[in-house]
Amino acid sequence: MSAIIEQLNQEHANMSRILDLLEHEIDAFGNGEVADFHLVQEIMDYCLDYPEACHHPKEDAIYAVMIDRRPNLADEIADLSGAHAKLGRQTQGAHGTVERIMRDETLARDLVLDVFGTFLDSYRLHIKLEEENFFPEAARLLNDADWARVAQTLADRPNPLLIDAGDGRFATLRQGILHMPGFSAALG
């Protein structure tokens, strides 16, 4: 398997743990318990950061080569790239919602549950679709030269969740997640 696909799979696994952590807090809120919205805010800050800046662009670079190889995949891949844009808007929406909560604005419980429920469902469905359909297809279609070209065009940078810059960014999330089963600090 290409090292890039391996990294994307690892990023999905880590993202799934983060989504589980988010769901745990949103469920607590839905049940009238005390939820850790500071953690929710860090999660949403993170979702706006690395996945939007690095993970989805890496995938888009691969999907562009796939269309080159198989033009008949263009429609399906356009849907997938559209899903990245939609996920970006949902991420902004959920981020804005937690910002309002942290500013002590009063929001209807159902609205908060709806925003985060939709965000969680879309993210999980997107990850499943890519892992089940598109990553295996990419592994079949791209050759070594393609992977080298994709790697060259990537504006990659370290995942800020895995590198503690000492500025306190993502400290709560890092603490919450590092010991979760299935989370890897080794890659992506």
Residue 186 burial (CB count, 10 A):
6
**Is position 59 an interface residue for Fe ion (rule: CB under 5 A)?**
yes
Residue 10 or 172: which CB sits closer to Fe ion?
10
Which of the stretches 33-41, 104-112, 122-130, 150-158 binds Fe ion when contact is defined by CB under 5 A?
A: 122-130
Q: Taking CB positions, which residue lies at the least distance from Fe ion?
A: 59
Max Cα–Cα distance, the chain, nearest Å: 54
Residue 36 or 131: which CB sits closer to Fe ion?
131
**Is position 42 an interface residue for Fe ion (rule: CB under 5 A)?**
no
Residue 14 or 29: which CB sits closer to Fe ion?
14
Taking a C-beta distance cutoff of 8 angstroms, is the pair 59, 87 a contact?
no
**Is position 137 an interface residue for Fe ion (rule: CB under 5 A)?**
no
Can you tell me the distance from the alpha carbon of 185 to that of 161, in angstroms, rounded to the nearest whole number? 9
Least distance to Fe ion from the beta carbon of 112, Å? 25
Tokens of 23: 């769901």
Taking a C-beta distance cutoff of 8 angstroms, is the pair 160, 170 a contact?
yes
Tokens of 105: 């604005």
Least distance to Fe ion from the beta carbon of 27, Å? 24
Chain residues in the site for Fe ion (CB under 5 A): 59, 130
